[in-house]
Structures are given as structure tokens and as C-alpha cells.
Amino acid sequence: MLTSWKLAPLQPPAGSDTLGSSSSRPCIGNVPCGGPMITTCTEPGMVALTFDDGPYTYTNDLLNLLDHLDTKATFFITGNNRGKTPIDNPSAEWPGILRRMNDAGHQIASHTWTHRDLNQATETDRRAEIVNNEMAMRNIFGWIPTYFRPPYLECNAGSGCENTLGDLAYHSISTNLDTKDYMFDDPNLIQQSKDRFSNGLPLDPHTGSYIVLAHDVHEQTVHGLTLFMVNLAKERGYKLVTVGECLGDPKQNWYRSADMFR
């Protein structure tokens, strides 16, 4: 159940909040909501590339590359981080990039408003981080995502975070193949992320499926690592998909109307 609360002073986007008068949200589809975080796909032989923290300077280049490679990915969007303006700022490039992302068939998911550690946040601030991002998505698309990745992969039961995500009916997504690309954003270092991907991806695609963690805010990820990952996954016989697809979840379940709680 959703309890009454007040948005923390995090400069929320324009418009009413996305909770409205509803006291609860239904979990859409068969993928569990709340916690613990989901680390693996349910469908065999798949690779779901995921990119956190954008949109950012390099995101358009990444969309160009994925379009050229005929590959879909999942983007965990942070609304107001890294010194950029809010993603729903109509005078900024971000709304156009996000619409392009959606039109291309990529999955859009939430990664909070300002990238705070949700285990360390108060309940009020934690909900504000999530709902502020919903409001910005609503302002751009008219819907909000049902998939979510906690910043730093930090969201446990003890802090109350899993309960918050359950209340807000989010599928919480982790990873079972972390490229650690944020550590190697240098032409002389990015090979280490390539090695992590290669070593973590079995030669036989029948042995499992993988949710791969990377970031579209890092130049070497966009201009070097991604092409390597796509080519190697295809070479080894994996199918490149979105997170929703690798969990067997139909596309209509990836988003909910922002009007349904008003």
C-alpha cells in the first residue's frame, strides 16, 4: 500500500505527481515486483545489453550504432544527474533523444532522478527520487516505466527499499555480467571491460542468458565496447534483446499509463 508522503525538496518536474489519489499499484505481468533484484533472464541464449545513467553526450552516437547493428537495448534513465538539465526540459536535447530511443524500439526504464543510494535515503527521499523521474517521463511520453534499476545496485529489504519498489510496482533489475566500464573509460583501459564481457559470456549460448551492465555516459563504452559486445554475442550464437524480452515479458507490460492514478 502507498502511504501519504510529501516530495522531498529535489526540484521535481512540472505537473502533479504520478501517484494521484491511488493507494496502491498493481504489479503488471508475471515478472515479480519489489525485491530481491532480478539478476538473470528466464529465456535461454539471450544477451540483454543495458545502459545506465543517460541520456548524455554520447547517447545519440550509441543510438546510431545500435540502429546500424539492428540491435535493441535497455536504457535505465536518470533524470537530473551529471550536471545536465532535467530530461523533460523542452529546451534541452534530452526529450528528443529519449523519443528517438523509444521510437527505435529500445526499452526505457528508470534509474532514479539524481542517482542517490536508495539504501541510504529516507523513505520520503527514496520515493521522491523515483516519483520525480516518473513525472519527467510522464511529461515526455505520457507513461511511466515498470522496470527499474537502483543506483549502485543498492536496494535491500533491511533499508525498506525493496518494500518501496513493491509499493510502486517496479521490477527491480540487477546484472549477472558487469563490464565495470566506469573503471576503464580510457582507450588504454577499455580492453579490460572487453575481457570481462568475453570471459563472462560462455561459448555455448545454451548454458544461460545474461543481463549486461554498461553506461552510455562513458565515451569508450559507446565508441568501442558496445560494438565489441554486439559482435561477440552474435558470433557466439546469442540473441540480443531487451530486458523485458529476456524475462519473457510482453512489451505492453513495460510501461503504465501515467493517467491511470489520477
Q: What amino acid positions are annotated as catalytic residues?
A: 52, 215
Q: State the Cα angle at 18 between 15 and 24, rounded to 5°.
A: 155
CA-closest candidate to residue 134, choices 165, 100, 175, 93? 165
Burial of 154 (C-beta count, 10 Å sphere; 0-12/13-18/19+): middle
For residue 194, give the H/E element and its range: helix 191-200
Cα distance between residue 159 and residue 157, in whole Å: 6
Cα distance between residue 36 and residue 43, in whole Å: 19
CB 79 within 8 A of CB 132: yes
Q: How far is CA 60 from CA 53, 54, 161, 177, 209, in A?
A: 14, 10, 32, 24, 27
Cα distance between residue 68 and residue 64, in whole Å: 6
Q: How far is CA 183 from CA 101, 215, 223, in A?
A: 26, 11, 16
